[in-house]
Chain A
Amino acid sequence: MSDGGEEDLGPYRNPRTSASIESSSTSSHCASASGPDEFGRAVSKAAVSQILQATGFDGFRKSAVDALSDLTIRYILSLGKATSSYANLAGRTSANLFDLAQGLEDLSNSGSGSKKCFVDSGVLTELNRFVKAGDPVPFSQFVPKFPICRAPKKTQTMDQIGDELMGKKHIPGWLPAFPAPHTYMHTPVWPDRKGDPREDKIEQVRQRRKAEKSLLNLQKRIFGSGVGGFVPVSTGTSNSGADKGKRVVGDNPFLAPPLPYGAKEVSAITPPIEADTGPLKRKSVLEAFGPTIEAANNTDLNADIGADSDSRDAIPVKRPVVHFKLGVNKKSVALPLALDDNRDKLVFREDERDEKKRRAEMILKESMDNPQDLTQL
């Protein structure tokens, strides 16, 4: 058995060692594993528990094993530190057996205190005895070589990125590359969809047809139930208005960016001829849509896509009058702001019709004047 640790074992004993172990033990030893040393602590805990089992214990408290494994790690660290300091003292960087033996004697409790050659001291003989006596109990599990050093991710240099220096000769090529422009700028993102232009066109025309069909059905309903002429819409432009009504925004050439001046030869603008014309020029919407309604009733609208799309996509050579309307987004029963005086007649006739028809008429009028809203039908 060993004597008290405080006794002086001679000039070779390092009194700091035991004191340091004491002071560090009294400081709080955290029960929970923390920090990067967790794996080492866990392995030492397993090893210590194996040693305890070999000693003869049936069980142990978790806190006791934690303390003991912490002590094991401290012992190894202290031994390594003492050994390396002795090696450095002798002017060497790598330690040898004699350094280790001297460090062992520093940390040991053997009470020889002899001034003989340290090899002859009690330490190594005790070790010898220990090795001879016990049967080895190897560690139960496989322990990989730790800590695992990950290779650092190398950033690319300018040379590796490529010749993007663009004549910047003042920048050496071994410097790390500039960050990609998408990290500091808003760059356009293109959708990865592979589009078939013909498929897209077919889909567009199909949607347009659907809109027109619903519009025609609406009109049929109105005209079928209501008797009498419908209020004529603005003059002189009914055809173009109808054309506009049929066209859906998806391929609206009027929404294309404007051409620069003089790029295209255009005809002169025909002024609207409102004052002269009487009721002759006014056509009813039914007349305007007549051929279309017949066509819809007779033929299948979905057939014959190619020819129709060509005719519909043709931009009219003669530029029609464009009527600007205020308050176009209002989808309500309320009247939109009327810019021409033809609407006055509508006001008078409202008193004669019932609510439903009036609403239908308003919707129709709004839709025909706003071709871009047709998709909502």
Chain B
Amino acid sequence: MMSGSGNSSGAASTAGADGRHDDDAALTELLSSLMDYTPTIPDELVEHYLGRSGFNCPDLRLTRLVAVATQKFISDIASDALQHSKARVAAPIKDNKSKQPKDKRLVLTMEDLSKALREYGVNLKHPEYFADSPLTGTDPPTREE
């Protein structure tokens, strides 16, 4: 038993050693490729908000990595929303005389965005219309919530 566990641990350790070597190579490759890639999110913005959250790192590559990660996150959400909007445009083919799916402009709406974000665990709900009276915001006691 002990030998078996030792054996497996030994095997795991050797595998781990090889994996670490690969990991190092992957990491260095990633970091070097980062410097060529300029993320869309500017460095100053990322540095500002990282400073606000307590992230203290003088290394620019890490900042770039955060920017790239954020960009990937947003672009994933955007592509999901794009899929939803394309599906919406393509779906109703009741009357094919008015709608041309190919020419329709793809607009990001709150509906598509909330659908895409639901899969990421972000619950975004947008009120469809406001039913208040025009006196909203003038007199607190008379305003209906």
Q: A57 touching B73 by the CB < 8 A rule?
A: no
Q: List 13 A-B contacts (CB under 8 A).
A: A22-B123, A52-B108, A54-B40, A55-B78, A59-B107, A60-B108, A60-B109, A83-B55, A96-B57, A117-B19, A127-B69, A131-B68, A136-B36
Instruction: Count chain A CB atoms within 10 A of each CB in B33, B65, B108, B123 and give the residue with the most.
Output: B108
Q: B53 touching A81 by the CB < 8 A rule?
A: yes
Given contacts A67-B113, A76-B46, A95-B56, contact A4 B119 (CB under 8 A): yes
A interface residues with partner B (beta carbon < 8 Å): 1-6, 18-19, 21-22, 25-26, 40, 43-44, 47-48, 50-52, 54-61, 63-65, 67-68, 71-73, 75-81, 83-84, 93-97, 100, 104, 109, 116-117, 119-120, 124-128, 130-132, 134, 136-139, 143-147
Distance from A148 Cβ to chain B, minimum over Cβ atoms (Å): 11
How many positions in chain B have a CB within 8 Å of any CB in the partner chain? Answer: 67
Q: Which of A22, A51, A77, A79 contacts B122 (CB 8 A)?
A: A22
Inter-chain CA distance A65–B74, complex, in Å, is: 11
Inter-chain CA distance A120–B27, complex, in Å, is: 10
7 nearest A-B pairs in the assembled complex, by CB-CB distance: A5-B121, A80-B53, A60-B108, A80-B55, A18-B121, A84-B54, A55-B78
B interface residues with partner A (beta carbon < 8 Å): 16, 19-20, 22-23, 26-27, 29-31, 33-34, 36-42, 44-46, 48-50, 52-58, 62, 65-66, 68-82, 105-110, 112-113, 117, 119-126
B124 to A, closest residue via Cβ: A25
Q: A80 touching B19 by the CB < 8 A rule?
A: no
Q: B125 touching A81 by the CB < 8 A rule?
A: no
Distance from A322 Cβ to chain B, minimum over Cβ atoms (Å): 72
Interface class of chain B by DSSP: helix
B53 to A, closest residue via Cβ: A80
Q: Which residues of A contact B110 (CB under 8 A)?
A: 61, 63-64, 67
Q: Which of A57, A76, A138 contacts B50 (CB 8 A)?
A: A76
Given contacts A5-B120, A54-B40, A55-B79, contact A119 B27 (CB under 8 A): yes
Given contacts A57-B108, A79-B70, A136-B37, contact A119 B23 (CB under 8 A): yes
Q: Which residues of B contact A63 (CB under 8 A)?
A: 110, 126
Q: Which residues of A contact B38 (CB under 8 A)?
A: 136, 138-139
Q: B42 touching A124 by the CB < 8 A rule?
A: no
Q: B121 touching A22 by the CB < 8 A rule?
A: yes
Q: A147 touching B48 by the CB < 8 A rule?
A: yes
Q: A131 touching B37 by the CB < 8 A rule?
A: yes
Given contacts A119-B26, A137-B40, contact A132 B33 (CB under 8 A): yes
Q: B122 touching A21 by the CB < 8 A rule?
A: yes
Distance from A281 Cβ to chain B, minimum over Cβ atoms (Å): 86
